[in-house]
Amino acid sequence: MSEYTNTQIAERGSDGVTRQQANEAARRQTLTPAVDIIEDLHKVTLWADLPGVAKDKLEVKVHDGSLTIEAESVVPVPANLQLAHVEVRAPYFSRTFTVSEDFDTSKVEALLKNGVLTLTIPRREEAKPRRIEIATG
């Protein structure tokens, strides 16, 4: 009587990724969200379109002069249904911006409302234009 061992074998491509992982990655789209940016003397405001994104699936990071937005859209499934097979995944959003040293990234404000992320980054006080008083003499 021979003993059988349950061994999982994954077919890997030349890059070491399994075929299943490659198929999942291909089905999951990474999208660059559309943005509008307005800059004035006091701040810069960025609006990013992130349809279907919930707050818990959104991450905004600032590090070394870069601002990164990463978000995952969620397709709601009614509680009484269970998915048996899924070929199309909800999109994943990712975009990175370079932020000038003129802006104070420690004071970024973020608001997510109706699928639109609003980021406000104030200008550093020393970078704001100021009027120089002229003395007469």
Binning the chain into helix, strand and coil, the percentages to the nearest 5 are 10, 40, 50
Asked whether the beta carbons of 77 and 56 are under 8 A apart, the reply is no
Return the closest-CA partner of residue 74 out of 33, 20, 119, 115.
115
Q: Residue 23: which pLDDT band, with cuts at 50, 70 and 90?
A: low
The rounded percent of the chain whose pLDDT value lies above 90 is 52
List the chain domain ranges: 30-75+86-125
**Phi and psi torsions of 91, nearest 5°:** -70, 155
Q: Of 25-39, 63-77, 91-105, which gets the smallest average pLDDT?
A: 25-39
Contacts of residue 110, Cβ cutoff 8 Å, sequence gap at least 6: 60, 117, 118, 119, 120
Which whole number is the average pLDDT over 5-18?
A: 46
pLDDT of 21 > 60? The answer is: no
**Cβ proximity of 53 and 71 under 8 Å:** yes
Q: How many CA atoms lie within 13 A of 30 on its CB side?
A: 7
What is the predicted pLDDT for the residue at 28? 61
Helix residue ranges, H only, 50-132:
none
Can you give the pLDDT at residue 38? 95
Q: Does residue 102 surpass a pLDDT of 80?
A: yes
CB 65 within 8 A of CB 98: yes
pLDDT tens digit sequence for 24-37: 555 567 899 999 99
Position 129 scores a pLDDT of 79
Class of domain 30-75+86-125: mainly beta
Q: Give me the mean pLDDT over the 81-99 stretch.
A: 84
The two structure tokens encoding residue 101: 């040293």
